[in-house]
Amino acid sequence: MPTDFATALANTAAAVNQMLDDLLPTAAGPEGRVVEAMRYAALDGGKRFRPFLVCAGADIMGVDANNALRTAAAIEMVHCYSLIHDDLPAMDNDDLRRGRPTVHKHWDEATAILAGDALLTRAFEVLAEKATNPIAEIRTTLVADLAKAAGAAGMVGGQMVDLAAPSLGLDVNGLTHLQALKTGALIAFSASAGAILKGDAEARLALHAYGLDLGLAFQVTDDILDVEGLSGEIGKTPGKDKAAGKPTFVSQLGLGGAKTLARSLTERAVGHLDRFADQARLLRQAAVFVLERKS
Amino acid sequence: MPTDFATALANTAAAVNQMLDDLLPTAAGPEGRVVEAMRYAALDGGKRFRPFLVCAGADIMGVDANNALRTAAAIEMVHCYSLIHDDLPAMDNDDLRRGRPTVHKHWDEATAILAGDALLTRAFEVLAEKATNPIAEIRTTLVADLAKAAGAAGMVGGQMVDLAAPSLGLDVNGLTHLQALKTGALIAFSASAGAILKGDAEARLALHAYGLDLGLAFQVTDDILDVEGLSGEIGKTPGKDKAAGKPTFVSQLGLGGAKTLARSLTERAVGHLDRFADQARLLRQAAVFVLERKS
């Protein structure tokens, strides 16, 4: 990947880790167990791709960097809560996440459910606080948009469809709907958050559309990696989706068809950035990164 | 209970049920399953005690009734989400709630986890929407205060302590801390929400203090009913807490000591209402209701 993109990704990850560390409570009292689990799940690294999109979008809009980082941290809390709950035995039943025991393996299921609940709750609190943006109307928009992206008409609804997917006989349209809810909505909110922080409605629409296409491309390349990738590189067992009987873009379109779809989605994503000209360089590089990623 | 209190309680319950019905999504598409579970859990009745406190407090403050009902519905969504998650096998493992199968028994654990997540998320969205209050600064205060009451330093933290309670050797102070987090914080927020909607900081403090004392009194009378109540009346098996090895106010203070504590807490709660004179009549009656309730 281009040097400046790699640098920006790494810098955002470091900055958002610090922000998460600052914003999460510290463990104290008999309720400290849930706080430890929140911190374990939220501070465990990862690419921090959603925070990158927030900060790159905010940079285009000329938004205060601290406002952007707080918003990025709130979104990452929501992403991490969803991973904790999705990993539970009643859901995807995963013992490992990024090479470490999942929260319910490290503690127990009750602690994992509660840590997820508390991360989701803290995310909304952070967005509502004055330090996120001086204009209250903008903070309520952030709260409402995050809720839409994360709730029954977004991420939670997508996970519900995903769990039922083996029996739904989803075609490409059905898969697209599933992924638009499960991951697309939060990625699109991430990309558009900078425009919300600026109060620029037109830029918000363009960046949201970019994020939706990029998020879908991310899922298509995930399916491709699930077939082509090596276990060590993608951090999970290749072929897991197929073994679970879940339809994927590869199972529906073949490997060649999925690659064509990923390419056309990233092209369409980048097309939404025309209005920003050179300022959107990092977001264009992010699309290349999604298309060419090996992990 | 006094006729006007009973009428107000019943009227609020009917109005908040209607508001919840309006505010919850309707089931559609393959993600409709989680929406059905949300509606099942949130529209199942109950006393709607928290909404009553919101509406009675809002009435004292002269706040728009629709604003109050939306706030009450959001708080009830949070209460219902907490019941869904607390009932899960990994937590309290309850098969019945108000005489009906719990969400994980009616559907499954995954659906129950997701329905709880989605109710919590929708609550914040409702509070952030303009229809809840025309002043954005007030809406962000509602969001932040609800998050504080519901998160790791509130309800979720309290449930974490409650799960560990059998091994913590809690004394009365420890029990008070547990209950202040687990139920007190959300009840105090409910009582103070009307003052937040009005933007009256002093009234907010007084009503919050009233709610904290009232919430604690509610738990003490719960423990008394757990010993004295009949199964049909309290809707759960009497003696369940004792059987679970959990300390209670009765196990720590004896029945007489617990009754004295409940009385002194309700008196202290009512003392916070002096500034409102006659206008706080319903909230005073609520304290009598808590002290004398048989279910």
A293 or B219: whose pLDDT is higher? B219
Closest CA to A111 of A99, A119, A100: A119
Distance CA B144, CA B149 (A): 9
Q: Which of B114, B148, B164 sits opposite A160 (nearest CB)?
A: B114
Span B186-210, average pLDDT: 98
Q: Do B156 and A124 touch (CB under 8 A)?
A: no
The confidence score (pLDDT) of residue A236 equals: 56
Question: Is B242 near chain A, with CB under 8 Å?
Answer: no
User: What secondary structure letter does DSSP report for A221?
Assistant: H
Residue (of B100, B11, B87) closest to B52 by Cα position = B11
How many C-alpha atoms does A266 have within 13 Å on its Cβ side?
Answer: 21
In the numeric block, which tokens belong to residue A260?
């064509």
Put simply, the chain A residues between 262 and 281 with a CB less than 8 A from any chain B CB are none
ipTM, interface predicted TM-score of the complex: 0.95
Q: What is the pLDDT of residue B239?
A: 62
Q: What is the pLDDT of residue B229?
A: 76
Of all residues in chain A, the one with the smallest CA distance to B146 is: A125
Mean per-residue pLDDT for B33-61?
96
pLDDT the model gives residue A97: 93
pLDDT one digit per residue (tens) for chain A, 295 residues: 667 899 999 999 999 999 999 999 998 888 999 999 999 999 978 899 999 999 999 999 999 999 999 999 999 999 999 999 999 999 999 999 989 999 999 999 999 999 999 999 999 999 999 999 999 999 999 999 999 999 999 999 999 999 999 889 899 999 999 999 999 999 999 999 999 999 999 999 999 999 999 999 999 999 999 998 754 455 555 566 666 678 999 999 999 999 999 999 999 999 999 999 999 999 999 999 999 988 7
- Cross-chain Cβ contact A151/B121 below 8 Å: yes
CATH number of the domain enclosing A93:
1.10.600.10
CA distance A13 to B91: 34
Contacts of A113 in chain B (CB under 8 A): 85, 88, 90-91, 113
Question: Which residues of chain A from 78 to 117 reach within 8 Å of chain B, CB to CB?
Answer: 81, 85, 88, 90-91, 108-111, 113-114, 116-117
A13 and chain B in contact, CB less than 8 A = no
Q: Inform me whether the pLDDT recorded for B27 exceeds 90.
A: no
Task: Evaluate whether B250 touches B258 at the Cβ level (below 8 Å).
Answer: yes
Q: What count of Cα atoms within 13 Å lies in the side-chain half-sphere of residue A197? A: 31
The domain of B33 spans 3-292
**Chain A residue with the nearest C-alpha to that of B148:** A125
Instruction: Give the pLDDT confidence score for residue B287 in this predicted structure.
Output: 97
For residues A88 and A107, give the distance between their C-alpha atoms in angstroms, rounded to a whole number.
12
For the stretch B114-160, pLDDT in tens is: 999 999 999 999 999 999 999 999 999 999 999 999 999 999 999 99
Task: Chain A: give the shortest CA distance to residue B226, in Å.
Answer: 24
- Give the residue-averaged pLDDT of B44-53: 92
Contacts across the A-B interface (CB distance below 8 Å): 175
CA–CA distance, B69 with A132 (Å, rounded to integer): 28
* For range B79-86, the mean pLDDT: 98
Domains: count for chain A:
1
What is the band of B240 on the pLDDT scale with cuts at 50, 70, 90? low
Give CA–CA dist B154/B211, Å, rounded.
14
DSSP secondary structure of A41-66: HHTS----HHHHHHHHHHHHHT--HH
Task: Name which of B218, B141, B231, B146 is nearest B183 in CA terms.
Answer: B218
Closest residue by Cα to residue B175 from B211, B209, B222: B222
CA-CA distance, A183 to A157, in Å (whole number)? 10
State the Cα–Cα distance between residues A196 and A202, nearest whole angstrom: 10
Output the average pLDDT for chain B.
94
Output helix, strand, coil percentages for chain A, rounded to the nearest 5.
80, 0, 20
Nearest CA to B52 out of B79, B33, B34 is that of B79
Half-sphere exposure of A143 (CA within 13 A, CB side): 38
Contacts of B244 in chain A (CB under 8 A): none
B62: left (phi over 0), alpha (psi -120 to 50) or beta: left
Please list, residue by residue across A164-199, b when 16 or more beta carbons sit within 10 angstroms of its beta carbon and e when fewer do. Answer: bbeebebeeebbbbbbbbbbbbbbbbbbbbbbbbbe
Decide if pLDDT at B172 tops 90.
Answer: yes
The pTM (predicted TM-score) of the whole model is 0.96
Task: Report pLDDT for A238.
Answer: 57
Alpha-carbon distance A30 to nearest alpha carbon in chain B (angstroms): 6
Q: Lowest-confidence range among A252-256, B29-33, B72-76, B243-247? A: B243-247
The answer to whether the CB of A71 falls within 8 A of the CB of A132 is yes
The string of DSSP codes covering A152-194 is TTTHHHHHHHHHHHHHHT--HHHHHHHHIIIIIHHHHHHHHHH
- pLDDT recorded at residue A279: 95
Contact across the interface for B117 and A114, Cβ inside 8 Å: no
DSSP A100: E
Residue count of chain B, please give it.
295
On the question of pLDDT at B177 being above 90, the answer is yes
